[in-house]
Structure 1
């Protein structure tokens, strides 16, 4: 090496490093309103870092630590913008067109990923009307990693017809309705989804060593060139970098790739708890129940997933929307993404913003009591409950002590449902809409269908 080259190397060691930020912190970003949010990045050890907020001109300061990392927690106002965030270290970074509003993560498999370009109901008309600069997308690139990452590849985009066309349809319609009902609050929607992916790849690998039931399901996964199949592979690259960010909650649409699982409720609960543990808070987690679909010879795989998703509602701060009236049984990707997005938004409006005028969930089993030869069922969210197209539902089944289920009839009476079958003298168990292709025929006054359920286990 000549003297000139040595001089350049020496100078490079003396030159201060630049402060850097993950891609989440960039122009057009959305920060969660009325909150304390974290902003982080890298800097030289002991490098002073100052962040000034555009809404109140307050400056927050810290220094790079011995690992060349830094983080700050800043307070956000009620919704508004655009604002500028200014960071100063040995260099200066300005983040422009920053909005403050509602921030949500949408994760799962293809039904969350599905864009209007795939083909949705009234797609061309909806795309043409999608001029919504107050709605922003951050869509992660599909990637895997062997260990948890600190940054995810993407960029914030304001919604135009072209941006909407190539982003999550469900995410757009959710954001559109939420913003409209909140009178113009900006919405940031982070898309972290991978078509075909099983739930296990979205769970940190270390969780499986402590959960033998989840481990047994993991071992059954088939490998694919189209999506990951290793525990934690998608989590490391596409979830871990998001969890410190100040989002309000998660919307989850996944399960089709786990049909056949006998314990999906355990797997999904493990996922929820692991994400919350890493984030350090119990954020809301709302599930879209998978739609009825003909999975072939597998008799009840889809029904078991639908019921497992219902069972997850015992976990705090969860909710679920039902899809069985918005699909055909020959299409695993329901085209009515606008209706689904609006149901999710109504769920958020009901639970987060206490909109008591909204019934956002369908009838959910509360109690099953044996009365003679009948099983009498009571429900949550049962206001105005009725059988669509008749007075009796044929989608019930009853079983006696032998555990064999027989076709049964369900009749709505005074907000309860009486279920009976001539083949069962003393009912012990009941289930509803238990075939993979069963579409609910019982609704409440809000027009939301009843969930598949069983008292079998």
Structure 2
């Protein structure tokens, strides 16, 4: 018994010494990966800088653009944060964070920060093989474009950090980066004459559900049921929130100007909820980023190998989301797609179209076009239907005759129709439909419409029939 007592006492003493020893260890101030050398911070904004340290550790933050030193204390949970007011673009800056240790962030630029997210078409790079990509890569040296590529990871729970680092844009760093993101940023940098920071966070084959917090979907029966319909594939996670948790949550609330989104191909199995899902994603991300950022998204391109009319339903659901999401726009890609390849190779053109939208709607350069013709309304005139479009200036047909319009009566049977452009509207008629009720346009998975406006941008397909409320089996 005495021997055990000595051992017990020795263990207690050793444990006490360890506690005392550990209490004297100074924890290191550290930062999430999104804060690092060569980064771009959103100019003229109040931005949050955050990190970790030892509870009650004093933290001082000093920036090269301000004479003030900010002070804070690490919380009992090991977190700290400060708010910084950033200046306009123009100079290179440094940030010093002093706690028990010192962390310095160097070569910081102020500019415009955009998040590029979605699945493989946003992910595709010069390395994947895009048209004219090699020539563009050779000319990609640009110190005012900075790139941050988020490494693929998934998680069932929200993460506090991710893998990635800021790099200067060079031919070597541009090649594996999102092509659409880069060409978008290149156009912005050229027109705005200021640095552009691009964050690429995407994963090919992921459905939209993987990019939305779990509780947002599980608490909505219709969306939860639809999420359960998604098939499982070997190349990407499809579980609700898994990529949001690992590839978006750790960025929050890093200050951004806007989001580019190209996704939808993985949601052909539950297209009827895509409008709701996209609206929910934007609402949730805006809440989490704590800003009403602009949201511009691609309508998925035509592709012949979708089943039934699943592809065109996703495109229509995306079009309908425009009425539900403020500060948004949709980039139509039907004329620069490839109906035999789900990955169109004209990423330079796609990136430029995204840039045109942003330059107009975000930065106020009205000479840049926003969209091709978008369905606005329709008027039934006896045996004809007149279709009205937004962005209809200079409406024209690129072929000898306008095609892909169809009419349906009360029996909802669709028939090909004659379509003629008159005074900025399209007048549609069919000898087989004496009393038309509905009209649709380009309603096939591989449809490449021949209706354009004066900016040579294509019209989006549409249908006036509300197909999303049809009962769907699980």
Query: Per the shorter chain, which TM-score range?
Result: over 0.9
Following TM superposition, by how much is the alpha carbon of 1:268 offset from its aligned partner in structure 2, in angstroms?
A: 1.4
The Cα offsets for residues 2-57 of structure 1, whole Å up to 9 and x where unpaired, read as 99997566323212211110000110111001111111011222222111122233
Equivalent in the alignment of 1:35? 45
Paired with 2:428 and 2:336, the residues of 1 have a C-alpha distance of 26
SS in 1 for 2:106: strand
Following TM superposition, by how much is the alpha carbon of 1:208 offset from its aligned partner in structure 2, in angstroms?
A: 1.7
Question: Which segment is superposed worse, 48-57 or 429-438?
Answer: 48-57
**2:456 aligned with 1:447:** yes
Aligned match of 1:216 in 186, 206, 225? Answer: 225
Equivalent in the alignment of 2:402? 393
Equivalent in the alignment of 1:165? 175
The Cα offsets for residues 380-428 of structure 1, whole Å up to 9 and x where unpaired, read as 11111101122x3111111111111111122111111111111111111
Aligned match of 2:234 in 225, 230, 246? Answer: 225
Matches within 5 A, 1:372-451: 372-390=382-400, 392-451=401-460
Aligned match of 2:196 in 187, 190, 194? Answer: 187
Q: Name the larger-Rg structure.
A: 2
**2:110 aligned with 1:119:** no
Following TM superposition, by how much is the alpha carbon of 1:58 offset from its aligned partner in structure 2, in angstroms?
A: 2.9
Count of residue pairs the alignment pairs up: 454
Matches within 5 A, 1:276-295: 276-295=286-305
Equivalent in the alignment of 1:93? 103
Equivalent in the alignment of 1:301? 310
Equivalent in the alignment of 1:84? 94
The Cα offsets for residues 234-263 of structure 1, whole Å up to 9 and x where unpaired, read as 110011112300011111100011113222
Unpaired runs of 5+ residues, structure 2, are: 1-9, 467-474
Distance 1:422 1:260, change over 3 A: farther
Paired with 2:165 and 2:368, the residues of 1 have a C-alpha distance of 34
Question: Which segment is superposed worse, 54-63 or 89-98?
Answer: 54-63
Aligned match of 1:22 in 20, 32, 41? Answer: 32
Paired with 2:345 and 2:462, the residues of 1 have a C-alpha distance of 24
Matches within 5 A, 1:252-291: 252-261=261-270, 262-291=272-301
Q: Which runs of 4+ in 1 moved over 3 A?
A: 1-10
The Cα offsets for residues 186-239 of structure 1, whole Å up to 9 and x where unpaired, read as 111111100011111111110122222211221111122211121111110011
SS in 2 for 1:103: strand
Matches within 5 A, 1:142-161: 142-161=152-171
Paired with 1:76 and 1:221, the residues of 2 have a C-alpha distance of 43
8 Å Cα contact 1:130-1:164 kept in structure 2: yes
Following TM superposition, by how much is the alpha carbon of 1:282 offset from its aligned partner in structure 2, in angstroms?
A: 2.2
Following TM superposition, by how much is the alpha carbon of 1:437 offset from its aligned partner in structure 2, in angstroms?
A: 0.5
Following TM superposition, by how much is the alpha carbon of 1:281 offset from its aligned partner in structure 2, in angstroms?
A: 2.8
Equivalent in the alignment of 2:469? none
Aligned match of 1:70 in 80, 98, 122? Answer: 80
Q: What is the RMSD computed on CA atoms of the aligned residues?
A: 1.6
8 Å Cα contact 2:54-2:78 kept in structure 1: yes
Paired with 2:117 and 2:298, the residues of 1 have a C-alpha distance of 11
Equivalent in the alignment of 1:237? 246
SS in 2 for 1:338: helix
What TM-score do you get using the length of structure 1 for normalisation?
0.96
**2:186 aligned with 1:176:** yes
Paired with 1:34 and 1:233, the residues of 2 have a C-alpha distance of 33
Paired with 2:70 and 2:153, the residues of 1 have a C-alpha distance of 34
Paired with 2:278 and 2:394, the residues of 1 have a C-alpha distance of 31
Paired with 2:157 and 2:119, the residues of 1 have a C-alpha distance of 21
Question: Which segment is superposed worse, 428-437 or 206-215?
Answer: 206-215
Paired with 1:410 and 1:299, the residues of 2 have a C-alpha distance of 25
Question: Which segment is superposed worse, 171-180 or 260-269?
Answer: 260-269
Aligned match of 1:329 in 316, 329, 339? Answer: 339
What TM-score do you get using the length of structure 2 for normalisation?
0.93
8 Å Cα contact 2:31-2:51 kept in structure 1: yes
Unpaired runs of 5+ residues, structure 1, are: none
